[in-house]
């Protein structure tokens, strides 16, 4: 039955939508096993989406849409400028710092790339930055979004793997910060080398305080979400409701940059995105049941032999597979495919499922800036009006930095898990 997994990847390479590929392979496999089992198909698809925790997905997407269109991104960028703007490569560092802040609003890389790129790439071009560097940096820094909470990727992994989403959120903070620090260091190096200096003067202490005051309402969101989950005031799903309510109050009554009329378009966009994700989760649930019914994970363990008993080699093999797959499969789809395939191997090798969830998330977000798919690359290249291959000169060193962070996250689990232990 392992050949059906190979068939799945063939369909993906043939550009069949991944949700349909998962469903088709599962149904075909069920028919070969026992055609009477087809009665389980609608039941398993429904059971996959009949999960209270999944309500958090549309809620966080909605909250992100409201806050993005409510003027929050501009305030975060302005605040970032007061902190690092005058340094060598200051505007580039603003991009990274803004991405760290912005991840609290969306939890998705594409939204961060579009929002920050739309503001920062023209500004960097005006200051004399190489458009190839600007576009590649916005793309790579946007990958921080799916790691720092709230993260749609971690929510989906938590649902599929039955792992605490609160623990995943906490464990994602340090890897996200490491990615940001690495890219800021590279930005400073390029700024020194190319003499990229902002015309902005160094901000006074008073200006920093004023900028922080203007942005503090946006910066409070992750604190409220994480604080509420850790303290037990609300669950990760309920935190989505808090995020929506908070973003509505900020957008409608504090900043007043959105109106009641805007909410229809915002909710429509949210519904479209959510429908795509939910359909994918439903077919992925059917695929998971099919794998379990035919004991395919056990066959994989036997196939990998001694590798499956060695956590170091197993994680290396999984990382290589994920890095390659991430170049042509989008992140959410990849989580739905690889979690049920690899989780039994990981658990059998004694690897913490929270640790593996972070490794999976970091690895697959790198795929969002790796050709040929690299969806974030296409977003920023369209903004910068350059072709993706022209970005490679600056892109590859940045991807190398992200891979170094991935290696650290993979082989130093204590580094990312200790905050989880402290807060238990």
Cis bond before residue 372 (omega within 30° of 0): yes
User: Quick one: pLDDT at residue 424?
Assistant: 61
User: Quick one: pLDDT at residue 164?
Assistant: 86
Rounded CA-CA distance 320/337 in Å is 16
**The model's pTM:** 0.80
User: Quick one: pLDDT at residue 208?
Assistant: 64
Residues 6+ apart with CB under 8 A from 27: 38, 41, 286
Rounded CA-CA distance 107/94 in Å is 19
pLDDT above 90 for 166: no
Mean per-residue pLDDT for 74-79? Answer: 70
Rounded CA-CA distance 159/284 in Å is 12
Residues 6+ apart with CB under 8 A from 238: 228
pLDDT tens profile 41-55: 888 888 777 777 777
pLDDT above 90 for 268: no
What are the DSSP calls for 347-406, one per residue? Answer: HHTT--HHHHHHHHHHHHHHGGGSTTT-HHHHHHHHHHT--GGGGHHHHHHHHHHHHHHH
Rounded CA-CA distance 128/56 in Å is 42
User: Quick one: pLDDT at residue 73?
Assistant: 65
Mean per-residue pLDDT for 213-218? Answer: 68
pLDDT band at residue 215 using 50, 70 and 90 as cut-offs:
low
pLDDT tens profile 126-147: 778 888 998 999 889 988 878 8
pLDDT above 90 for 125: no
pLDDT above 80 for 414: yes
User: Quick one: pLDDT at residue 50?
Assistant: 77
User: Quick one: pLDDT at residue 70?
Assistant: 67
Q: Distance of alpha carbon 211 from its chain centroid, rounded?
A: 27
CB-based contact 146:375 (threshold 8 Å): no
């Amino acid at each position: 039955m392992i050949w059906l997994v190979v068939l799945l990847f063939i369909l993906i390479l043939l550009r069949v939508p991944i949700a349909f590929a998962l469903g088709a392979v599962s149904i075909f496999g069920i028919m070969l096993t026992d055609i009477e089992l087809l009665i389980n198909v609608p039941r398993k698809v429904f059971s996959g989406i009949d999960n209270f925790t999944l309500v958090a997905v549309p809620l966080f997407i909605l909250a992100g849409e409201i806050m993005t269109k409510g003027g929050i991104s501009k305030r975060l960028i302005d605040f970032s400028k007061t902190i690092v703007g005058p340094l060598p490569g200051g505007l580039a560092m603003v991009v990274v710092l803004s991405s760290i802040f912005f991840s609290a609003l969306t939890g998705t890389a594409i939204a961060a790339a579009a929002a920050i790129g739309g503001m920062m790439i023209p500004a960097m071009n005006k200051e004399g930055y190489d458009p190839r560097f600007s576009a590649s940096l916005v793309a790579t820094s946007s990958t921080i979004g799916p790691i720092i909470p709230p993260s749609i990727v971690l929510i989906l992994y938590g649902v599929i793997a039955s792992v605490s989403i609160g623990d995943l959120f906490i464990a994602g903070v340090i890897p996200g910060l490491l990615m940001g620090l690495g890219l800021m260091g590279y930005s400073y190096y390029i700024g020194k080398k190319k003499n990229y200096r902002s015309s902005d003067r160094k901000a006074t202490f008073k200006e920093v305080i004023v900028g922080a005051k203007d942005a503090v309402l946006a910066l409070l969101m992750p604190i409220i979400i994480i604080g509420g989950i850790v303290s037990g005031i609300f669950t990760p799903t309920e935190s989505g409701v808090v995020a929506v309510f908070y973003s509505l109050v900020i957008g409608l009554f504090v900043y007043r940059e959105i109106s009641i009329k805007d909410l229809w378009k915002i909710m429509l966009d949210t519904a479209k995105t959510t429908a795509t994700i939910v359909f994918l989760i439903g077919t992925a649930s059917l695929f998971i049941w099919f794998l379990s019914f035919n004991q395919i994970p056990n066959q994989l363990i036997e196939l990998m032999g001694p590798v499956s008993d060695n956590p170091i080699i197993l994680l290396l093999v999984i990382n290589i597979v994920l890095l390659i797959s991430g170049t042509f499969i989008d992140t959410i789809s990849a989580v739905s495919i690889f979690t049920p395939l690899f989780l039994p191997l990981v658990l059998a090798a004694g690897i913490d499922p929270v640790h593996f969830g972070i490794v999976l998330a970091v690895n697959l977000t790198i795929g969002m800036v790796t050709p040929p798919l690299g969806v974030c690359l296409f977003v920023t290249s369209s903004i910068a009006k350059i072709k993706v291959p022209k970005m490679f000169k600056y892109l590859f060193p940045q991807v190398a930095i992200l891979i170094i962070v991935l290696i650290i996250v993979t082989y130093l689990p204590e580094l990312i898990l200790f905050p989880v232990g402290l807060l238990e």
